[in-house]
Amino acid sequence: MKSAVIVFPGSNCDHDMLRALTLMGHRAEFVWHKTGNLSGYDLAALPGGFSYGDYLRAGAIARFSAIMKAVADFAAKGKPVLGICNGFQVLTEAGLLPGALLRNQNLRFICRPVYLRAENLRTRFTRAIQPGTTLKIPIAHGEGRFHIDPDGLKQLQDREQIVFRYANARGETDPGANPNGSLDHVAGIINREGNVLGMMPHPERAMEAILGSEDGRRIFESLSA
């Protein structure tokens, strides 16, 4: 599998993403945002960071990069697009995923491991996850509070587009397990077609036990399966 790791000015999880993909046996390459072409790639990964300094809103400027036209075409062809953290913010700003990410409810930048409950194991990003397990994966963001209007939320719920929810270690979505105040505990969503996934937690930082968790591998294994 040949993967593109898209690099914007201010991306800072691009090397982690490249390493994670390489660990999982992908041929992964950096693709600079001024490139307008993703032909030959099987996966487009939008990494975390602070593209364009988060000016105006997180992801608001990056969505106008030349590469985003290519990402939209790539997604329209049904190819997988994975947006992590700032990558998720860029995908919502670009309209490739619904909703928006707002300032965390407690106004703090939160950097710590959280537990995720995978809600839909039939996606190409989650099929390697064992039912009934939680994933321990770190978050690192100041603007991760998912918001959408009530109709939009209902559509996400009805179509099983909410792929990950913040939970406790037992997989229960109690209020204390929602780090940023996200609506309905949303940590990650998928588009209606099932090929564009955005999530705030960082699976690429949970690839090796020595770093605290290797649960992030399940997502990359799903993609390779």
Partner 1 sequence: MRVAVKVRLKRSILDPQGKTVQQALQHLGFEQIREVRIGKLIELEIEEGQSREKIQQMLEAAGRKLLSNPVMEDFEIEYPGELP
Nearer to partner 1, 22 or 157 (CB): 157
8-state DSSP, 175: G
Pick from 102, 110, 128, 140 the residue near partner 1 by CB under 8 A. Answer: 102
Interaction between residue 181 and partner 1 (CB under 8 A): yes
Query: Catalytic annotation on 13?
Result: no
| DSSP string computed for 193-222 | TS-EEEESS-GGG-SBGGGTB-TTHHHHHH
Rounded Cα distance between 224 and 124, Å, is: 9
Shortest CB 32 distance to partner 1, Å: 22
> 105 with 217: CB under 8 angstroms?
no
Query: Catalytic annotation on 202?
Result: yes
Structure tokens at 46: 């939008």
Pick from 27, 56, 169, 170 the residue near partner 1 by CB under 8 A. Answer: 56
* CA distances from residue 48 to 30, 79, 124 in whole angstroms, order as listed: 14, 20, 21
Nearer to partner 1, 143 or 204 (CB): 143
Query: Catalytic annotation on 214?
Result: no
Pick from 78, 105, 154, 157 the residue near partner 1 by CB under 8 A. Answer: 105
What positions carry a catalytic annotation? 85, 202, 204
